[in-house]
Amino acid sequence: MHRAVSRSLLNDWSPVVTSLNALKCSKCRAAVVWGGARGYSLLPPSPDRAEKAMLDRMLRVDHAGEYGANRIYAGQMAVLRRTQSGPLIQHMWDQEKSHLQKFNEILAENRVRPTLMLPLWNVAGFVLGASTALLGKEGAMACTVAVEETIAEHYNSQIRALMEADPDRYIELLQLIKEIRDEEMEHHDTGLEQDAESAPGYWLMKILIQAGCKAAICVSERV
């Protein structure tokens, strides 16, 4: 198991390397398409710098959150792949991969740089997923509940901001965020159904994980 965890931890660095290379020049950012992604534009064109900065922060942190979630599920699968919970965790991970792919495409199409914190989220997410999975299925599900609840709340705050600004102007972005938010809540509810609250120290674990997630959100918006 330790060997499998080590191998998994070393995997999936390509998005980090590609993202950091894209920071070298604006032409690179325009050309980068992670994983062969197609162009994916659903933002309204705007010459307004304040609006562009707001949307860049929003997309940057959403991409970071989905990247971190992918690494968490990678860590859980490294530990629980061969258990009865493996297929369920894989299903949720597959959905997170789809979310990440969409934000990869949006960032590339709209020339939004990813957060500089991706290398840290790569390792931290995997370690969080693997360490909680070592507590068993309940530990992994407790982590899922804590993370997905925080992500869903964050998406809700973005939805409110866009609705207050101009719901017609941002209709496509709103639709995407709502769809992803709903799937995150499905993962949250699945975690509760899978005995997350039976994990040792559930409430303390939830508080600590959510505090970490909120700090990561704050940093990723700015860095």
The reply to whether 184 sits in an annotated binding site is yes
| Cα–Cα dist 72/60, whole Å | 18
Rounded CA-CA distance 149/166 in Å is 26
Rounded Cα distance between 16 and 8, Å, is 15
Instruction: State the CB neighbour count (10 A cutoff) for residue 31.
Output: 11
Of 156, 153, 154, 133, nearest to 205 by C-alpha is: 133
Residue 65 and residue 151 in contact, taking contact as beta carbons nearer than 8 Å: yes
The annotation status of 187 as a binding-site residue, yes or no, is: yes
Indicate the residue type of 29.
R
> What single DSSP character describes residue 25?
-
Q: Where are the alpha helices (DSSP H) in 34-85?
A: 49-80
**Own/partner pairs, 1-7, CB within 8 angstroms, 24+ separation:** 1/78, 1/79, 4/78, 4/81, 5/75, 5/78, 5/79, 5/130
Residue 2 annotated in ligand binding: no
Q: Is 193 known to sit in a ligand binding site?
A: no
DSSP string, 102-128: HHHHHHHHTTPPPPTTHHHHHHHHHHH
Annotated binding residues for Fe cation, written as ranges, equal 66, 96, 99, 148, 184, 187
Annotated binding residues, written as ranges, equal 66, 96, 99, 148, 184, 187
